[in-house]
A and B are shown apart, each in its own frame.
Chain A
Amino acid sequence: MDQLLLISEIVNVVLFLMVVGWLVARILGKWKTTKIAAEKPQAKIPDKTETKPPTAKQPPKPSRSEAITLLATLQREARFVDFIKEPLDSYSDAQIGAAVRDVHRDCAKVLDRLFAIQPMVNQEEDSPVEVPAGFDAGRFRLTGNVVGDPPFHGRLVHHGWEATEVRLPAWSGTQLSVRVVAPVEVELA
């Protein structure tokens, strides 16, 4: 019974990760199309060698990909990257389950706060649903026997998810940290 619960929990997390991945891709895609010009000057990001930033001229304010900002937020508040980057092979389901609960809760909080994600259709899945004439192809995915003209009548398979807000944090760090998802942490005695 416990095993089953754990497995369902893991399945939940995997589903959830897919959603996050999809969101990241979406934001990244949007960002690319709209901000491509802004990105050009810093296409070459300084590597780890000690390149001193020019002090005489006011350097342009470094800007960071919003996808990195989202990842950094999920890592900071929910340890998301730590969790995904850790190989699961050597752990029992119980060990994974213990960690998942916290990661899951905190990821959900971040998504709620930054995107206020809501189902797009307020209807039970499996119930009959109508796709109106002139529907937006980006808002509906039709499967099965797609013939004729809308309105279409079918069965709701997935209610969809939509970010009802986008409130990503603003970032004001240094040029060398534009790709940092989590900084090195050092405890001083």
Chain B
Amino acid sequence: MSTSREKNTAKFILGFDLGTTNSVLAYAPLDAENPQVELLALPQLVSSGTVESRTMLASFAYLANPNEAVGGVLDLPWTKQRDFAVGEYARRQGAVVPDRTVGAAKSWLAYSRVDRHQPILPWGAAESVAKISPVTASQRYLEHIVAVWQELHPEAPVAEQLVVLTVPASFDASARELTREAALAAGLPQDLVLLEEPQAAVYAWLADRGDRWRRALKLGDTLLVCDVGGGTTDLTLVTVADDSGELVLRRMAVGNHLLVGGDNMDLALAHFVAGRFAEKGTKLDPWQSVALWHSCRNAKESLLATEGATSDQYPISVLGRGSRLIGGTVTTEVDRLSVGQILVDGFFPHCKVSDRPARRMASGFRELGLPYETDTAITRHLAAFLQAHGPAPGQPVRPTHVLFNGGVFKADILRHRLLEVLGEWFSNDADNQAPQMLEGSHDLDHAVARGAAYYGWAKHRGGLRIRGGTARAYYVGIETAGLAVPGAPRPLKALCVVPNGMEEGTETDVPSDEIGLIVGEPAQFRFFSSSTRKNDRPGELLASWSLDELDETDSLETTLSAAEGAEDDYAAVRFLSRITELGVLELWCVSTKNNSRWKLEFSVREDAGAE
């Protein structure tokens, strides 16, 4: 499609999965006849002074005390005199030195109530810790992977390769822009492509199936991609459509950014087991509680495995902390039934498709910090998602197939439960089959990176692509004219500037009244997005909307430089929106008098603390 734009020096396609808890790089040589996607082994510190390769880089950063970072203990083969560490060592340090460990930076990127450029992480750490911003943290994870690649392939610099970076489908334009910014700072090329993670999971499946995918999916099918990672849940619907006789995949809807995932399950289990210890009179200290959390992470899989269970009881131990391992070990038994209830019924409860997640309590004061979901029931979030994108109110979307992604779904019982619940919602009848799991092999930990690499290969060499354009519609807030009332804000209307599904590589003029801006002064616009309003066209002016329809994100601003030969200090503009080939949203103010135009930029900084 855009081969002319592509670099002819590129030898590889690189697929980066910048995850909330783990990051992965998959790559494929461009000249191969068939896509041969490999995972890059990622050397990382696993302990002070010890470097080991893993397939995933733990997305954690440890900001060492200067006294700890001497003697090269945080060195990597390609860099010396480091005062921080990323990867497995940082993840481990999170358990014992939480005040110096940055985690979940990616979730912070999507959280518009804080300034993502400010050094705010680790959140709530002491003054003496030299904190970093969510953007910087993301940049460091990517820099690490880039450095590993450079070591291995000095002949193929990252900046000259074709690069795909995945983002959650639920990321809005501002979170995507921040991700891009971190990526460019880490040395990824300007023409890097952002791909939605659930789509990447579908590409990984397509790569595995080859042409056989046509046997699994047919015209009119709807695929639900259910991606439950360590910290987040991401839902997407993809339909199989017909495009002049060819079957094509079209992304139909994406869900909201849900902060609930596998970590919540480990914590819920740990909480339960801590209760069992308390019943026996064993009080766990903070270190033991963290150790218990890790034990529960390990125990979760065997506990959820229904096959091969020899007894209903399962022992969980917390090893002694000092060198007296056996003497200090405390242990308790949990029964599989209760664990099943906590995890399966707690996170995937049976519910009706008309159910809604419990709402977060609104209160005057809300402590800043990540807005973790109040309702951990993924099935209820799924019900709300399917309802929101149905053809009419009360008519949910009916998926025909389900593709699972994320480590959580390694447990058979959770996959089965989700299919069971979907089956209850959409029971078998003469015309319809209950939703089925997509056949084929699923590499739940690495599918997103693999899919990203395959997508890049397919884009370059020609292959099946998922279409769909933007997952959201975007709106600019316009204050209505009229007499000012002291103390009351002017009523706000939302002008649709980007419709849902606007395709990459297109632009559109936004018809509207002229908007007056003062030359030489910054102009600022509130900016909103919606994943559910699908029929708004550019230029439509919404006078009212319900709270859950429109999400406000970072505002946009620009400063109008004095145009040449302009007599006034006042310019009348209209908007023009573009989605670049790379999927980047651009919004421009275009003068109605001459050809001057000004690009609007996200003003993340101004927004901080505005709440």
Contact = CB atoms under 8 A, between A and B. Distances in A.
Q: Are A and B physically bound partners?
A: yes
Interface of A: 69, 72-73, 76, 79, 82-83, 85-86, 88, 90-91, 95-96, 98-99, 101-103, 105, 167, 169-174, 177, 183, 187
Given A79-B319, A101-B317, A96 B326 contact: yes
B442 to A, nearest CB: 21
Nearest to B287: A187
A15 B461 CA distance: 53
Instruction: Give the bracket for the number of chain B residues in contact with chain A.
Output: 20 to 34
Closest 8 CB pairs of A and B: A173-B49, A174-B71, A169-B52, A98-B331, A82-B325, A170-B51, A99-B329, A99-B326
A169 B48 CA distance: 12
B73 A98 contact: no
B52 A173 contact: no
A82 B322 CA distance: 8
A83 B320 CA distance: 10
A98 B48 CA distance: 29
Contacts of B49: 171-174, 177
Given A171-B50, A172-B51, 9 more contacts: A82-B325, A86-B326, A98-B317, A98-B326, A99-B325, A102-B317, A171-B49, A172-B73, A172-B75
7 contacts: A72-B50, A82-B324, A86-B325, A90-B327, A98-B315, A99-B325, A169-B50
A73 B315 CA distance: 25
Interface string B318-353: 011001111101010000000000000000000000
A134 B119 CA distance: 67
A52 to B, nearest CB: 13
A173 B317 contact: no
Nearest to A176: B71
A72 B326 contact: no
Given A101-B315, A171-B50, A86 B324 contact: yes
A72 B319 contact: no
B47 interface: yes
B427 interface: no
Contacts of B77: 170
Interface of B: 43, 46-53, 71-73, 75, 77, 287, 295, 298, 315, 317, 319-320, 323-327, 329, 331
A174 B72 contact: yes
Contacts of A169: 46-47, 50-52
B393 to A, nearest CB: 51
Contact of B53 (A90, A167, A171, A187): A167
Contacts of B329: 95, 98-99
A172 to B, nearest CB: 5
Contact of B50 (A88, A98, A167, A170): A170
Contacts of A88: 326
Nearest to A76: B47
A86 B327 contact: yes
A101 B302 CA distance: 13
A91 B326 contact: yes
Contacts of A82: 323-325
A95 B326 contact: yes
B333 to A, nearest CB: 10
A185 to B, nearest CB: 8
A183 B48 CA distance: 10
A169 B52 CA distance: 4
A179 B117 CA distance: 43
Nearest to A170: B51
Contact of B327 (A73, A91, A167, A172): A91
Contacts of A171: 49-51
Identify which of B43, B49, B71 gathers the most chain A CB atoms within 10 Å of its CB.
Answer: B49
Identify which of A82, A102, A177 gathers the most chain B CB atoms within 10 Å of its CB.
Answer: A102
B319 A102 contact: yes
A172 B72 contact: yes
A135 B315 CA distance: 46
B47 A83 contact: no
Nearest to A175: B71
Contacts of A101: 315, 317
A13 B326 CA distance: 14
A72 B47 CA distance: 10
B98 to A, nearest CB: 13
Contacts of A90: 327
Contacts of B52: 73, 167, 169-170
Contacts of B73: 172-174
Nearest to B310: A5
B253 to A, nearest CB: 40
Given A69-B50, A91-B327, A167-B52, A173 B71 contact: yes
B236 to A, nearest CB: 33
A99 B72 contact: no
A83 B324 CA distance: 8
A99 B325 CA distance: 7
Contacts of B75: 172
Contacts of B47: 72, 76, 169
Nearest to A105: B298
A99 B317 contact: yes
A96 B327 CA distance: 9
Nearest to B77: A170
